[in-house]
Structures are given as structure tokens and as C-alpha cells.
Structure 1
């Protein structure tokens, strides 16, 4: 029986965010080793689960090593990164002999010192296990794919969809190619092509005939034509302030370097030619609330600059202030990270009324807390289960939370910044968004699953840890020229890592 090691280490960084993710933050979602890893992944919609199930179905003996999933934030504390890297690299090396390795990663991790953590892990692993054991990696669609990663891994496969609904399938695809490699059916070769460009995330949906859906169709056409075993497109996490960050095309072929180069270039050009189409209209908070009140039905207000899934703090009170000023009696719901307000509500108890200073608890570069006279309507533990997406089946932990009622507005104040999928976090704390006319979300894409007849959305723009207007950011380390800071007719190619 052939043996394959499996591991997972996922985190999405953001150079503009003040959030620091430490070991304790990973522990809330769980850190697993050995048999506990297999138990934790079982039945989930994770990429790791897809990889495990595929390897197991092929009759491989699984060697579970290490798994930790940390969501999004600013950067990971160096000490925990060093610990995780050691556990993955040394754990896999200790399991030798092996015939293959599968690792689930996000691809946009950053640390205070190491700016290419995934590349560092893969390079260290390759140095320890040698050139003969194939390594397969699955990545998020917004991964920052580096040349170092491609040099160390034999197989790189990215999510196809945004909103992300194919994490499991992506892990299964990467592991499927690994199985074929282990069986001697293919000799995988991965090539990447990169342009010095970043594009807005908000317009990157793969739904319908959206621009990124067209890119996805081109990738599948390249595969169907036999030009590559796998073609992936990476519009990248744009809020990474590093010189080698850019949109990337990746192709895996059966030992055919020219074909891999051509397919990676073709899918990269498919993104570049549509670069202007990824920009969507957006309004400042006050304008967004006023526009929503002119519409019929329910409107989802997308607080894009404070998107938790993009790594922002989740504590910006700009939309809260706008709702209080322009729609104080309208039935509305807003979620905001503020552990101080949540703790105060817990001390006062349900039914108590007080003045709460809400928001800007961590990031005060643009905003100050907003004073709100509110009644503590409900206290909750903040636990919920994700109904889908890349963490489907996993447990979300808002920490001690409270629903504060101010006029028509219900304010859900939470202890932790937690990735929003749909409305699971609201429902867990007793808020039925079906009864609301205005609902705030701090995510950039998953809200689209809630759209339909009588439900529309308005995106917000303004200052924050995940600003929409990328050309307005005071970038310090990016190499110029790059799109969209410069209106370049021709792209600049990134040929090496910094």
C-alpha cells in the first residue's frame, strides 16, 4: 500500500490590517494532529476533506500530520508560524518513506518577517524529503502564488468559484492528480505566469456571465482541449503590500513545459483583458442608506472596506452612524466587532438600557467609537455552524456576544472577528434578517447567495482595511508601474520573487 501524508495550514493575510493572529486564534477553530486531524475533517466541505477522501478512495494509506485554519487577518505571529512550519515539515519527514504529500493552503499568508510563508514551508519540505516525492497543494482563488511555491510543489490547483463553493472539489482535484502521479500515470509539471496588477475583489464573482466567470470558462476550455491537466486563475488578495504580488495564471501538464507555459499565459491574459470590468459602483455609507430607503424590498449593505473575510478588523462604525442618522426607526440589522461593548452588555444583563460606545475598538486610523443609547435585547454565546462555503460544516465562534436594540436597529456586537458566510451569525443570536429592510454584511461575496426577488445590495466604499479603490492606497513596497495605480496599456511581467 502506498502512503501519502496530508496536512493543512490556511490563513489569508492583509498588509493594511492591524489584526495579529496568534496561536489562541487558531485554537478557536482547532489545531489537529495525527488521527484527530482525520476526525476533525470528516464530513466537512473543506479542501482538506476533499483531499483525504480522494486519497482514501484510491486505497492510499493516510499519514495525517498537522492542520490549522485561521481565517483572515493582518498577519500571523512569527512564533506560531515557526511552530506550524516545523510540525508540518518535520512531521512529514518523520513519516518517510512516503509516495506522496497533499497540503491544503490558502496561499495569501503573511507574517511580520516572512512574506512568503507558504513558499517557505514548501521549500523547507522539499529540502527535507528530496526531489522524488510528489507534493500537491490546493489554494484559495485569491492566493499570492510565488515562484518559490511553484518550484517546490509538483501540483498546484486553485478554487474555481467565488463565492467559494468548491473547496472540497479543489482538494479532491489536487489529490486526484497526486494519486495519478503516485501510480505512475502522469509526471506533473507546474508553471506560473504573473503580471504586476491587482484587481478589486468585489467584482470578481464567477456567477452567471460575470467577467471572472468568463475567465473560468476559458480555463475549463483549455483543460477540455487537452492543453493542460489543470488550469487555475488567481486574481490575488489585493491588499498585500509586496513587490511581487500580482494576478497569476497556473497550469499543470504531464511533463510538457511549453504547454504549461502557454496555458498559464493564456489564462493570465484572460484576466488582464478584463481588468477594467472588475470595478463595480459603490457609495459612501450615508449615500448607501439613503439609496436603500428609496428602493423596494430588502437591501443588503455591503461594508466592503471593513470586510472581515478580507482581513479587516470588522469594527468600523461608519455604517452604524449612517443608519442611526438616516434610518433610526427602520427595521435593520448590523454586526460589528466590539468585545468591550459585548462585555458591558453581559455585565448589565438582558433588558438593561445604557449608552454604549461602539466600534473602532482596535482600528482608530479612520473612525472613533459611536455613542449609542440601546437596550440589551439578547445575550448569546456566538456559536454557529457554517451552512456552506469553504468552511461548510465547521463551527463559527463569535465569542460572547449581545444584540443591542436602538430604535429599529439591532446591533450584534461580538467579541471576535469571524468570517461571514451568509446569515448564520445573525440567526445564531436570534436575528431573523427576513424581517429586516436593511442588513449589513462585512464580506465581499458570500452575501450574493442571499440575493433574489425583492433582495438587492449596495456596496460601500471609503477608508478601511480592505478599501475598494486600490489605486488610492498609499502603497509602500509595490513596484511601479502596476495596475490600477497606473493606467497601463501593456502589462508588466513579474519574473521572480522579492
Structure 2
């Protein structure tokens, strides 16, 4: 078996102003050829799972390209086309191959291409020149799976868990099905079903008996029954302002398209039937701070509207303003992206005190900077390593970073937006969150790993690039009626995928 492998992962957000450029991908890691092996060694990534599985199966592996970036608004066209060319040209150079494995996110946005991952798969298929060479793809649970993706790849497997703890297993599963397809042990057929609906991410945990956990249990039961080779569910990244985005059920059958469609429909209906259960209670920043002050133990305040893991800029000062006003002496920690303030703090130096205007510089649509008089207590480069999740083992950085103290508030001011896993970024800059009554996180799910006796969480709602109340967003491209903007008793099929008229040419 000769298998080409590549990875190109980015999660977009139509409401975010962020633009991911080549340097942003390089900062987190971009590799070609055998350097990919060294980049993923010992890490729990989708690509690692696939490589290990293919190696165990005795395949000759041809590593082509790997690039990933923290979530944001959209990928700059120039870099998207560069990455696409590297993938397709690399596969063309490796021909002939018996199969292809791709690690994608599934919710990429580009300025021009309207179906980035679908375009990648189509371009790869064109290079292969044959429809019967199996392609396997691993995706994030929040992927926007298009008809073109499902029509082009015989095998699509999504993460099962949220928080994402099965990333390695997902890559291994996709690669295992690929090996079986190459050996003619199975004839995989992927089908999707999709409704014109989106649901809040915050309520989408697959923990305990929560709504998505029930959908997950149903999916695993279907697999165990033999009705499908693999079942995936995609509650989707809801801040994609595209007409064809919607909750999705996906199934892979062994040569039976009608069976795959039936299973995909069953899983989709399971998500739809639980749609009311995905919206969780939330508070304004002031309400959350006041509740945390009187609570027993520690409180994690989840700045959901500014979630960097959802593509927001990470520079909302709304919670900082509430802490300064309502709990200035409570031991607390907040992280804000503000390279200007980080640079000023470095000029002032450790031990110096200054007046700082913090936040709302990357995205000033909803808030103004907060004025704070603070002392610089720590300066660092913000380097840390993820201890788990979809980026497990990968190094990242908040860039030039300063810790400011104002009363009991420790303000970690970084230069780069990051994907938060747990508290690795705080710890790397000398903040032990166990000493804080209040800690802010700008992610929508990973913080749950930190909960336990004496540790509660309160989510925020309000304006931002990742708002919880999806029905209040001024959507530009969604087709009405759709849930939850319209309280529909019966679901509507999602509109057909919009495909760009532009054909990307490769030399």
C-alpha cells in the first residue's frame, strides 16, 4: 500500500475580523515531507493517529504537507492557494498511490473560495485521476460538511467527543477504514443529511448524559449493530454565515448508499429533537462577577462571546471592566490579547506602575479599552505546550506577554490570540489559577476539565464574535426559516452547498 498524507487545519468564524496569514500558520507549525514525522512524534493529533495506523498496516507513507493555525476569521487567499498547491502537487509527485489521508478541520473560511475543504478534496481527486482510489478524511466535530466533500471522499470521520479528547483515535479510525478499503475488505460509501439549523456550542458537551452525549451513544450503538461502518455527528461551527451551514448527520456504509442515508438521517433527527437543550443559562459580566464574589470556592468565568477557540480576537475587556468595578480586591486572573499594552509594559519594566488602556484594539465594534492603573509584575515570551486536546503536545505562544496587577486582579496581556486548552498559558507566565477566586477563560468547553469540588463555572452572554444567543445575530447569508431564529416545529433541509465559480489553477 502506498498512501499519501497531508494536514491543513483551520476553524473560521464569519463574525470575526481575524485574518490568518502564512506567518500565523508558520508560528504554530508548517512542515513538508519527512519533517512531518518529527513534528507529530509523540503528539496526540489526528495525523499522528493516522500515521501510526498506516505504519502498523505496513503501508508506504508519503508525507506531503502539514499546517495548522489557531481559530480566527478567515484564511488569506494567497496562503490558501499556496497550501492547496503544496498538497496537490505533492500528491501528484507521489503518484501512483493506493489511497490518500487528509486531516482537515472542516470549518475553514476563505475570502474567495466558498467551500475550502471541498475544493481541497476535489483538487486532490482531480490529481488522482480516478474515482475509485479511496480518500479518507478526519474532521472536527464542528465541521461544516458539504455535499462536495461527501461526494468526493469515500471516508469521512469526525471527532466523537467535546471537549475533544479523541483526536488521535479519530485519525486512527479514518486510516483504519482506508486500509480496509485499499485491501478491498470494504466498499465505503459516505452520505450526509443536513437541516437548516444551528445550535449553541456551549451546550454541546458529550459528557455524562448531556444532549450530545445521547447522540454519541446512539451513534456508537448503530456502529455496534453493524448498520454502519462509522457514524459521525456535526452540530457545526454556528458562527459561519453561509446559507448551507446546518447540523449534520453522517454515516459510512459498506457499499449501501441507502443504508448510509438512513443512518445519517436518524442521527440528524437525534440532534434536532434535542435542539432546545443546547442553550444553557448565562450571565452578563457584572452578574457573573457578583455571583462569583459570594460563591463558595473558585469560579471560572467563561467569556464565551470572546472565545478564541471559536475564532474571536480575545481582546474583549468586558469582564475586566466588571472586575475593576465590582471586585477590585478579589484574587482573580484574566487574559486579554493586546500587543500595544504588552509592549508598553515591557518599556515600563518589572516593578514599574503605569496607566494602561487595555483591550478593544483588535476588535472595537462592541467595547472601548478599559483604563487601569497597574504594576508590571512579570514579563515573558508566553511559550507553553498543550497538555491535551486537539493540539496535544504542540507548542504555542501568547507572544511578548506581561502580567499586570491592579489590586487583586492579575491581567495577563498577550500579543497573540491562542487556542486555550486548560491553564497552560497562565502557568507558563507564573499564574497559579488555584490561588484565584475568579479565573477567566476564553474557550467554550475545555475549561470543564478543570471543574470539580469547589470549582464552578459561569458562562457570559453578550456582544462579541462568538455570541451565545444565535437567534440575535444579524445574519447576512442564512436562509429563513432556520432554527433558532425561527421557532420551527418541523425541520427544514439545509440549502444546497454554494460552490465558488472560481477554478484554482495549478502549475
Quick check: TM above 0.5?
Answer: yes
Q: Partner residue of 1:18? A: 17
Matched, 1:370 2:341: no
Partner SS, residue 213 of structure 1: helix
Q: Partner residue of 2:92? A: 93
Q: Partner residue of 1:52? A: 51
Q: Partner residue of 2:502? A: none
Rounded Cα–Cα distance in structure 1 between residues aligned with 2:82 and 2:200? 33
After TM superposition, the structure 1 = structure 2 runs for residues 123-142 of structure 1, keeping only pairs within 5 Å, are 123-130=122-129, 131-142=131-142
Residue deviations 1:11-43 (CA, integer Å, cap 9, x gap): 000000000010000000111000001110111
Rounded Cα–Cα distance in structure 1 between residues aligned with 2:88 and 2:269? 35
Residue deviations 1:337-364 (CA, integer Å, cap 9, x gap): 0000111111111101000110001111
How many angstroms does 1:494 deviate by? 2.2
Partner SS, residue 112 of structure 1: coil
Matched, 1:406 2:406: yes
How many angstroms does 1:89 deviate by? 1.1
TM-score by length of 1: 0.99
Rounded Cα–Cα distance in structure 2 between residues aligned with 1:47 and 1:344? 40
Q: Partner residue of 1:431? A: 431
Measured on the aligned residues, the alpha-carbon RMSD in Å equals 0.6
After TM superposition, the structure 1 = structure 2 runs for residues 283-432 of structure 1, keeping only pairs within 5 Å, are 283-432=283-432
How many angstroms does 1:457 deviate by? 0.4
Matched, 1:216 2:216: yes
Rounded Cα–Cα distance in structure 1 between residues aligned with 2:73 and 2:215? 29
How many angstroms does 1:474 deviate by? 0.2
Partner SS, residue 404 of structure 1: strand
CA contact (8 A) 2:288 2:460 kept: yes
How many angstroms does 1:77 deviate by? 0.3
Q: Partner residue of 1:107? A: 106
CA contact (8 A) 2:104 2:140 kept: yes
Rounded Cα–Cα distance in structure 1 between residues aligned with 2:371 and 2:78? 38
Partner SS, residue 379 of structure 2: strand
How many angstroms does 1:88 deviate by? 0.6
Rounded Cα–Cα distance in structure 2 between residues aligned with 1:260 and 1:459? 37
Rounded Cα–Cα distance in structure 2 between residues aligned with 1:278 and 1:402? 37
Partner SS, residue 170 of structure 1: helix
How many angstroms does 1:495 deviate by? 5.6
How many angstroms does 1:93 deviate by? 1.4
Rounded Cα–Cα distance in structure 1 between residues aligned with 2:63 and 2:28? 18
How many angstroms does 1:132 deviate by? 2.5
Rounded Cα–Cα distance in structure 2 between residues aligned with 1:292 and 1:118? 42
Rounded Cα–Cα distance in structure 2 between residues aligned with 1:368 and 1:23? 30
Partner SS, residue 390 of structure 2: helix
Rounded Cα–Cα distance in structure 2 between residues aligned with 1:29 and 1:53? 22
Rounded Cα–Cα distance in structure 1 between residues aligned with 2:99 and 2:470? 40
Partner SS, residue 491 of structure 1: coil
Rounded Cα–Cα distance in structure 1 between residues aligned with 2:40 and 2:2? 19
Q: Partner residue of 2:505? A: none
Q: Partner residue of 1:118? A: 117
Rounded Cα–Cα distance in structure 1 between residues aligned with 2:231 and 2:456? 33
Q: Partner residue of 1:152? A: 152
Residue deviations 1:431-466 (CA, integer Å, cap 9, x gap): 000000000000000000000000000000000000
CA contact (8 A) 2:293 2:330 kept: no
Rounded Cα–Cα distance in structure 2 between residues aligned with 1:53 and 1:426? 32
Rounded Cα–Cα distance in structure 2 between residues aligned with 1:452 and 1:275? 27
CA contact (8 A) 2:421 2:447 kept: yes
Rounded Cα–Cα distance in structure 2 between residues aligned with 1:251 and 1:166? 18
Matched, 1:84 2:83: yes
Q: Partner residue of 1:167? A: 167
How many angstroms does 1:496 deviate by? 2.2
How many angstroms does 1:71 deviate by? 1.9
How many angstroms does 1:114 deviate by? 1.1
Q: Which moved more, 1:455-464 or 1:111-120?
A: 111-120
Partner SS, residue 329 of structure 1: coil
Rounded Cα–Cα distance in structure 2 between residues aligned with 1:138 and 1:16? 25
Matched, 1:186 2:182: no
Rounded Cα–Cα distance in structure 2 between residues aligned with 1:486 and 1:41? 44
Q: Partner residue of 1:466? A: 466
Residue deviations 1:137-167 (CA, integer Å, cap 9, x gap): 0000000000010111010000000000010
Q: Partner residue of 2:503? A: none
Q: Which moved more, 1:420-429 or 1:287-296?
A: 287-296
Matched, 1:65 2:64: yes
Rounded Cα–Cα distance in structure 2 between residues aligned with 1:62 and 1:339? 42
Partner SS, residue 69 of structure 2: strand
Rounded Cα–Cα distance in structure 2 between residues aligned with 1:176 and 1:349? 54
Residue deviations 1:394-423 (CA, integer Å, cap 9, x gap): 001110101000000000000000000000
Q: Partner residue of 1:479? A: 479
CA contact (8 A) 2:196 2:495 kept: no
Partner SS, residue 72 of structure 1: coil
Matched, 1:456 2:434: no
Partner SS, residue 10 of structure 2: strand
Rounded Cα–Cα distance in structure 2 between residues aligned with 1:132 and 1:90? 20
CA contact (8 A) 2:70 2:417 kept: no
